[in-house]
Every structure is written in C-alpha cells, then in structure tokens.
Structure 1
Amino acid sequence: MGIVFAPLGLVLVFTAAITPQWREGQAHLGMAGPGSLLRSGTKSHGTRSGSVEALILLRSDGLWESCLQVERSDLRQCWPVAGPYQRDPRVRLAQGLVLTSLFLCGTGIVLACIGVRCWADLPLRGVAASGGLLVVTAGLLSLTALGVYTHNLKRLGMDPSQRIHNPRYPHLNLHPAGSLYFGWLGSCLQVLGGTALLFSFKRPRCPTCPCRHELSVSPCHSCPEMTNKPDMDVYEVSC
C-alpha cells in the first residue's frame, strides 16, 4: 500500500505544482466603448460587434504561471507570475512548502524501496519506516500549502489600497480550480502511503513452539500440531 500510494501522491502533487489552475476567474468584457482594450484586435479578426460585447475573459493563476484566455477562441497567453501576486508572502510560502514536500516525498520513496528490498528475503524495516516518515511529512507540508492558498484564495495578490473597482478593468470572480483538487488528492495519498510504511517499525510475531531444544530435532510434546507428525523436523525461525 505504501509503495503504491506514495509515488501516486507524488505524481499528483507534482502535476498540481506545475499547472496554472490553482484559481480561476471570469469576467464579461464590455467592448462597446471607445476605450476598449481588445477592440482593435477583434476587428482584425473580423468579429461582429454583437459577438464582441459577449466576450468572456478567463484568468487562471498557479504557483509559478498565470494564463489569460478569451472564451470560445484560440486567444491564450501564459506568463510567469509577477507583480503583487508573486510578492505575496502566502504565495511564496505555498511555493516553498510544495517544493519541500516534493523533495521529501521523493527521498522517502527511495528509502522505502531500499527498505522493502523486493529482491531479498528479509526487508530492512527501519529504513522502510524512515521513508514512510518522510512521506507523511511531505503530505502534511503539501496539505498546509493547499490550506493556506485555499483560505486566502480571493485575497492573494490584492493590494488593499486598490480594492476600489475601476470600470476600465473587469472584476474577476475567483474560485478554486482543478489543480487544487489534484493537490488535495495527492497529499492525502501521501499521508496514507507513508502511514502504511510506518507500520514497518513494528515487527510481526511468528508463532513458535513454547519449548525449544536447540540441540534436539525431535518434535516438542507441548505442540499438539507437531505430535501428530512424527516425521517432521523442528527448526527455529527468527523473524
């Protein structure tokens, strides 16, 4: 369970980190006025005035990239995050936590694979459990980053002095996007997989015969399952 869930969680968190859909917003563009921002561009494409007024602007932000797209068109542009959004301490905190989470999860998976040792008869339980501890820590860090971002989603990059609505620029209704859900799912899988690996600290108890004679190979009379099999050799098994 740990070997399967931990890499899957790492892939999902990494996918969430590199995609720019942490939050999305849309706004209806008023293109009828003479001060329109996209009037010249839309005229060059031969768009009618009726369809110009119905344009919807889609904005998406991630940890390292932002995108802008006009709905029902091929007009799309992405750029690295900049400005107040990039300088927001909560965004920078989320970036640091996600990067640390990815590093710890990758290291934990490597330790878990070395500890499990599928090519050997006996695993290194301490090494596997240590890897599980790193994976759990990585999952908790990514959950913290997602929680901070989601809680402050509508306030990230917003300057309090500029909250007065400017009619020239459209107002965006921001809401959580798909990358956040990938991150939540991946973080939960990391916690579950790391917790499963943590059980490696506890060694299983193997049922053995109560009376063991190191120099005798005869069956022990206190074990009823052995008395019925006189031709059986008794071995001492160490778990």
Structure 2
Amino acid sequence: MRTPGLLIFGMVFAPCGWVLDLTSTVAPDWREISQMPGVSTDAIMRQGIWDICLAYQTTSQQTCGQQDSSYFGQQIIPVAKGLMVASLLVTLFGIAVATAGVRCWRDRPNWIISGLGGILIFLSGVMTIIPIAWYTHIINSIPTVTSGTINVGYCIILGYIGGIMEILGGAAMVIGMCSCCGGWNRGERSSRGTAKFSQSNPPVPRKVEVPNIARSISTSSSVPYSRDSLAERDYPRAKPPRSRFVDTSVTRKPYDADL
C-alpha cells in the first residue's frame, strides 16, 4: 500500500525545515551592521548567537571570533541558543517516531505513532519561531560596541522558513491522526464500517409483478367489442388453393419437357 499524502507531506517538510534551522543556528548572521565609523565602507559586522564575524565584500575575507560582551550579555542570546538546539533535537526525535509509523513495508501506516511524531515536529517548529520572532522584534535595540546601519541577516529568514515548514509538516500528521476522518479521505476503508457491513444480512430480493398481457388487452382495450364476439361471427375466409387435376387414364410417352 502506498504512503498517504498527508504523511508524505509531513515527512518531506520536516527534514527540510530541520536543515534550514540547523543553518540558522550555526551561521553567524542573525544581524548585519554596515557603514561603521572608522572602518572600510565594504566591511560588514555579522552577528549570530554563537559568534561574531567581520567580513569584507571586496576581498571576500571574513574574520570570526570578534568579542562583544554587551551583545552576548543580552537575555535573548542564551534563550535563542537553548531553544534552537532543543528544536533541532526534538525535530530529529519526532522524525524518528514518525518514521516508525509511516514505514511502507506494512499494509497500513500506524496513524497513532505517526501522529505523535507530528506533534513533536510541530512543537519543534514553534520552538524555532519563538527566538526568531523575539530577536526580530528587538533587533534594533540590542546594544553593541559597534554602531552603524542594522539590517536583518539571512539566518532570520532561514529560521522563519524552517520553522514554518516544521509546523506545517507536523500539523499534517496530526490531522491524519484525527479519528473523525474514519480513514475514507486517506484512501483506506474504515475497519469499523467493514465489520458492520460483513455482519449485516444479505439483501432480500424484491418481488416484481409481471402484468398479464391477455388481461390487460381484454380490460384496457378501446375496441367496443370483445374477443369472444369476434369468434362467434361468420366472416368470409380465404379459399384454399385449387389442386391440379391429373388424368391418369391417358397413357402417353413421357418427353424431356415433362422431366
């Protein structure tokens, strides 16, 4: 039996969202600071939750390990570290649980197990969205030793996309677990409905009354006389064909024309 579409949707979106969340967690580009005073105009300060790097656009050089105690001392940084790492671990555990219920070598998938995996994947997406949204909300108010123009980094965008994909994938698995569906919209046949159908009595054939043609003719005919009156009257009949008379008294020799 092929895997239902809801489970395929969840099993595809969950790993894709995990890869995007991993990139958002590791890469040091949650916030970019450009046009810094006293520094080259092509220099960009890229700040993440684990490291800070100074990159130059013209030479493509990047120097990481920059120190900024005021930036890493903010409350959002340790909270984002914990939630992002927890989201990655919960996503992996949810995918492992969902795989046990989605595996295709069974006749039917286990919707309870796959639904539990979907709940874990959904929660991991929520844990990703919380620090990303919080960081975006206070992105301009986070203090730093370097001043300049502040822009959103690509890690924020990848984190939003990854978290939304995990939420959608987990929600699809949870929807498939709902008992109100009964299995019909998933290409299956409900076991309860099958058992009830097998125990029901066979259908009783209906009796079909065939109308009597002779009775209908005699009763519903529009002719003012009946069939019996037709038999009593004397109508002229066709005469029978006349038989050829053959005279056997005359004996003659047969000719070829007679043969």
TM-score of the two chains, using structure 2 as the length reference: 0.65
- Please name the residue that 1:135 is paired with: 121
Give deviations 1:91-135, integer Å, cap 9, x for gaps: 111111111111111110100001112121122211110010011
How far did residue 211 of structure 1 move? 4.8
Once residues 197 and 103 of structure 2 are traced to their aligned partners in structure 1, the CA distance between those partners, rounded to angstroms, is 33
The alignment status of 1:221 with 2:203, answered yes or no, reads yes
Give the equivalent residue in structure 2 for 1:95.
Answer: 81
Shift of 1:175: 1.3
The answer to whether the Cα contact below 8 Å between 2:37 and 2:148 also exists between their aligned partners in 1 is no
Matched, 1:17 2:25: yes
Report the more deviating stretch, 71-80 or 179-188: 71-80
- Contact 1:126 1:200 (C-alpha < 8 Å) held by counterparts: no
Distance 1:211 1:105, change over 3 A: closer
1:171 maps to what in 2? 147
1:9-88 correspondence runs (5 A): 9-30=17-38, 55-79=41-65, 82-88=68-74
1:202: how far off? 2.4
1:77–1:176: structure 2 CA closer, same or farther, 3 Å change rule? same
Residues in 2 aligned to 1:70 and 1:136: alpha-carbon distance in whole angstroms: 39
| Structure 2: segments with no counterpart, 5+ residues | 1-8, 205-259
**Shift of residue 208 of structure 1?**
4.2
Indicate the residue corresponding to 1:186 in structure 2: 162
Find out whether 1:110 has 2:99 as its counterpart: no
Paired residue type of 1:198: V
Going from structure 1 to structure 2, the CA distance change for 1:184 and 1:74 (only over 3 Å counts) comes to closer
Higher RCO (C-alpha under 8 Å, 6+ residues apart): 1
Q: How many angstroms does 1:210 deviate by? A: 6.0
Q: Which residue identity is paired with 1:179?
A: C
Question: Cα distance 1:4–1:85, how it changes in 2: closer, same or farther (>3 A)?
Answer: same
SS at match of 1:11: helix
Q: Whole-Å Cα distance in 2 between the matches of residues 28 and 83 of structure 1?
A: 18
Displaced runs of 4 or more, over 6 A: none
**Residues 21, 88 of structure 2: 8 Å contact kept:** yes
**For the Cα contact (< 8 Å) 1:28–1:56, is it kept in 2?**
no
CA distance in 2, matches of 1:107, 1:82: 35
Is the CA contact 1:60–1:67 (under 8 Å) kept in the aligned structure 2? yes
Measured in 2, the distance between the counterparts of 1:6 and 1:81 equals: 35
Match of 1:92, SS? helix
Distance 1:29 1:73 in 2: 19
d(CA) in 1 for partners of 2:107, 2:58 = 59
Larger gyration radius, structure 1 or structure 2: 2
Decide whether aligned partners of structure 1 residues 140 and 84 sit closer, same or farther in structure 2, where only a CA change above 3 A counts. same
User: Residue 55 of structure 1 contacts residue 71 of structure 1 at CA under 8 Å; is this kept in 2?
Assistant: no
Q: Residue type matched to 1:5 in 2?
A: F
In the TM superposition, what is the alpha-carbon distance from 1:72 to its structure 2 partner?
1.2
Say if 1:98 and 1:141, in contact at 8 Å, map to a contact too.
yes
**Structure 1 residue identity aligned to 2:86:** T
Structure 1 residue 171: deviation in Å?
A: 2.6
Output the amino acid matched with 2:13. Answer: F
* Distance in 2 of aligned mates of 1:94 and 1:10: 16
